[in-house]
Amino acid sequence: MPAHFNPRSHPILFSSPRRLSPYSGWHQHIPFGMFLLDLLKPATLVELGTFSGDSYCAFCQAVQELRLGTRCYAIDTWEGDPDTGYYGPDVLESLKEHHDPLYGSFSRLMKNTFDEALNGFSDGTIDLLHIDGYHAYDVARHDFESWLPKMSDRGVVLLHDVNVRDGDFGVWKLWEEISRDYPYFEFVHGHGLGVLAVGSKQSEPFHAFLEATSQDGLLIRNFFFQLGLRLSLKGEHLAQLSAEREEFRRETQRLEDTIRTQEREARETAIANVIEERERVLTQKDEQIVRLTANLEDLRQERAQLRGHVGELENSLAWRLNLKCRKMRDALFREGTKRRALLDRVKDSFKVLIR
């Protein structure tokens, strides 16, 4: 290991990051980021493009553990871009839940575009600037040139993804251009990280780091690669766990939906059975009513027939004789003293009827 680089003098680089989200391209650079904070001890740190906040929270953690007086600012719209994809407010809310209780006393999350945030910083005031926004060449160059006047005389710029040449990524091209004009150090692992000393008054330890020989630089790169690799593997494990958890959540949701469907079908079947039984009972009652109505009609007809028979009987001779006899009998019992007269009248009546 180079004499000017003693890891034992910077134990912060061995710290385990408190925030390690499942998906981040910055995991492999977290040890170096913490080391850089210890080396520079910046008064003001600004990050352009924070997303889930793994890099930014590592900076804040180093500030806190090293007890630095650094003021930290994370600037992002937290809406996404063509590189990261577009996402909802849950990403920022998750970051706030972690960030605010731990670092809210010296750090601020600013929901702005990079250009909107420019006026919030005076020229020559930023000591460490991390640019990790949209990676198209024109956009990256605009961000670098816009914020360069804000850098202090000991300012350092970090550019992520300087080793990505896919799609519309153009940071590699910007890095090739600006690294000709300033002292720099470059990491190729973790998509590449460029360290650019844009200030003219760098500390001796940092200047020695930048001026490492090819052999020393190789040792330093390998050292930080090995440290970052363990975090990268941990991040991959977290990503796998996150994917499994998401699959478990989806499977649980499917089972819950199936259960709800089965319960709904069971309720619908039970209701259908009840309705069917009630309809069966109602049908039976309707049939019974029809039968009773028919019986009632038969009874009415029979009653009408009986009334007809009664009328015929009332008009018949026997019926009239029987009725007259009963009246006479009753009269005989009521008027015992006139029985003879009544008997005569009865005889006369019979004569008349016989004629």
Q: Please state, in angstroms and rounded to a whole number, the distance separating the CA atoms of residues 115 and 113.
A: 5
Domain boundary among 190, 211, 232: 211
Identify whether 114 is part of a domain.
Answer: yes
Q: 341 and 294 in one domain?
A: no
| pLDDT band at 232; cut points 50, 70, 90 | confident
Q: 326 and 296 in one domain?
A: no
pTM: 0.69
Cβ-count burial 220-241 (b if 16+ within 10 Å, e if not): bbebbbebbeebbeebeebeee
Q: 311 and 324 in one domain?
A: no
Over residues 76-115, the pLDDT tens digits come to: 999 988 777 788 899 999 999 999 999 999 999 999 999 9
Identify whether 1 is part of a domain.
Answer: no
Domain hosting residue 262, numbered range? 241-315
Q: Is residue 318 scored above 70 in pLDDT?
A: no
Strands 80-81 and 151-160: unpaired
User: Which among 2, 28, 17, 6 has a CA at the least distance from the CA of 226?
Assistant: 28
Q: 285 and 172 in one domain?
A: no
Q: 253 and 179 in one domain?
A: no
Q: Please state, in angstroms and rounded to a whole number, the distance separating the CA atoms of residues 100 and 116.
A: 22
The radius of gyration of the chain's CA atoms, rounded to the nearest angstrom, is 53
Over residues 16-62, the pLDDT tens digits come to: 999 988 777 899 999 999 999 999 999 999 999 999 999 999 999 99
